[in-house]
Amino acid sequence: MTLIKTIIVDDEARIRRGIERMVRSCGEEWEIVGTFSDGKEVYDTVLNENIKFDVLISDVRMPEMDGLTLQKELNQHFSFLTVFISGYDDFEYLQTAIQEGAVNYLLKPIDREQFYVQLNKVKQKVITRKIREQEWLEMREKANMLEYAKQIQRLSEWTWKEENDISFFNWTKQFPAGKYQLLYVSIDQALSKTHGLTTEEWNTAILTVEEKLEAVLDYHFHNSYANKWWWRGNPNCYWILLHQDYGAGEKTIPEAAIEDLALELKTSIQKQTPFTLSISLGDEFSDLSLFVEMKKQLVSIATAKKRHHLSIQAAKEWIQKNLHESITIKKIAQQVYMNPTYFCDYFKAQTGETILDYVTTARLEKAKELLGNTDLKIYDISAHVGYQDTKYFSKLFKQWMGQTPSQFREEHSVSSYIVS
């Protein structure tokens, strides 16, 4: 059912109430969104509260602002139909009103049957207008979708290009002027993460990534000042292009907004799929002919990140295999061909903990496992996890767990024979 939102204005309360009753009796599709006693009150309220309406039923002669002025002023902001209520001596007013777009007029005293006939005509015009507006919106939406699809196709094509003659950059005219930022979203260790997945499981995981990417972008930038495009690069990466018109602000997108987007995307993908993501943000640029250079810059950054990420993973794996040995920062750094000082700083930045904390935690976690699942003596377990001094091991274990190794074994051992 199409609701016809109606405003009633008349400076005589009795007439105003009578019009309201007659409008309501015309059917449930008529919705009264406001009744007012003068034109100025209507104008201020409608603009301040952004009241949407389809029909204005107004007296012609009113204090503060007459009906004709009210119609003219509101027409600058809204599209609506007007029915004027007038006396016999308002003929010249009514002629002007009809020229200004009023639908019709009713003379006082209002004849009920004539009122119903006029409102039915208004109803049909409102319905026709709404149908045409909807058709126009649908046509515009289809045109926008087609244009967006063309833009995505063009961006996708240029994602694969390395170099091209400058004359080929006419495609940039398809995009609005303004400031841009490019984001590169890549799946970490895609090959290892997909090991053991069926084709159907892989496709489901990728679909989840894409649905979440669309949802997060819509949430953060829907109806905002920023335009957005996203598309798939290769099977393991995606691209996001953000745009802002000139003059909308000094920065294309606030850094906090992008950080929130990246964090939400990483967190949700990690929860719902076997993947983790790396997201790189390029510098702001205005000339889209720089797109290829920006793309190369981000791929280079992402490659370096992945290389370092693999180095961190390799270091962790080496530590786990060598818990019983004497482990030094120099030894670990040598395994990943990095400077020891740089490695320490990078490890902390990427994992949130120092390399010393990681090694200690790994050793004590292994000790917990051996205490609970084996009958090894405590001094043997101490040596097995790299502590030759059993007293030091026991003290460290108690600081970490709040229990001595013996106490922990007593509570958690699954062995039938326990040696303390």
Given pLDDT bands bounded at 50, 70 and 90, which one contains residue 148?
confident
Q: In whole angstroms, what is the distance from residue 143 CA to residue 27 CA?
A: 37
Q: How far is CA 245 from CA 258, 286, 345, in A?
A: 17, 10, 39
Amino acid, single-letter form, for residue 200: E
Q: Which of 130-139, 156-165, 242-251, 342-351 has the lowest mean pLDDT?
A: 242-251
Residue 88 has what pLDDT? 61
89: pLDDT strictly greater than 70: no
* Closest of 349, 202, 372 to residue 275, by C-alpha: 202
Q: Check residues 174 and 398 and name the one with the higher pLDDT.
A: 398
All CATH 3.40.50.2300 domain ranges of the chain, comma separated, are 4-133
pLDDT digits (tens, 9 = 90+) for 261-289: 888 888 888 888 888 888 888 888 888 88
Q: In whole angstroms, what is the distance from residue 32 CA to residue 308 CA?
A: 65
Amino acid, single-letter form, for residue 101: G
* Closest of 151, 128, 389, 82 to residue 291, by C-alpha: 151
Q: Is the peptide bond before 176 cis (omega within 30 degrees of 0)?
A: no
Given pLDDT bands bounded at 50, 70 and 90, which one contains residue 416?
very low
Neighbour-count burial of 288, counting CB atoms closer than 10 A to its CB (0-12 exposed, 13-18 middle, 19+ buried): buried
pLDDT digits (tens, 9 = 90+) for 115-126: 998 899 899 999
* Closest of 364, 363, 319, 322 to residue 343, by C-alpha: 319
Residue 154 has what pLDDT? 85
413: pLDDT strictly greater than 80: no
Residue 419 has what pLDDT? 41
pLDDT digits (tens, 9 = 90+) for 11-21: 889 999 999 99
The CATH homologous superfamily for domain 322-412 is Homeodomain-like (1.10.10.60)
Q: What is the mean pLDDT of residues 401-417?
A: 79
Kindly calculate the radius of gyration of the chain based on its CA atoms and give it in whole angstroms: 36
pTM of the model: 0.55
To the nearest 5 percent, what fractions of the chain are helix, strand and coil?
A: 60, 15, 30
Of 23-32, 249-258, 336-345, which one has max mean pLDDT?
23-32
Of 19-28, 56-65, 77-86, 232-241, which one has max mean pLDDT?
19-28
32: pLDDT strictly greater than 90: yes
**Quick count: other Cβ atoms within 10 Å of Cβ 311?**
19
Given pLDDT bands bounded at 50, 70 and 90, which one contains residue 9?
very high
Q: What is the mean pLDDT of residues 201-206?
A: 86
Query: Which residues are registered as beta bridge partners of 9?
Result: 36, 58
Tokens 């205005």 appear where?
286
Q: What is the mean pLDDT of residues 278-303?
A: 84
418: pLDDT strictly greater than 50: no
All CATH 1.10.10.60 domain ranges of the chain, comma separated, are 322-412
Tell me the CATH number for domain 4-133. 3.40.50.2300
Q: What is the mean pLDDT of residues 309-318?
A: 83
pLDDT digits (tens, 9 = 90+) for 368-391: 999 989 989 999 999 999 999 999
Q: What is the mean pLDDT of residues 237-244?
A: 90
Q: What is the mean pLDDT of residues 16-27?
A: 92
Q: Check residues 265 and 222 and name the one with the higher pLDDT.
A: 265
Given pLDDT bands bounded at 50, 70 and 90, which one contains residue 313?
confident
CB of 69 within 8 A of CB of 88? no
Q: In whole angstroms, what is the distance from residue 7 CA to residue 32 CA?
A: 6
For the domain made up of 160-304, give the CATH fold: Alpha-Beta Plaits (3.30.70)
Three-state secondary structure string covering 135-201 = HHHHHHHHHHHHHHHHHHHHHHHHHCCCCCCHHHHHHHHHCCCCEEEEEEEEECCHHHHCCCCCHHH
168: pLDDT strictly greater than 80: no
All CATH 3.30.70.270 domain ranges of the chain, comma separated, are 160-304
196: pLDDT strictly greater than 80: no
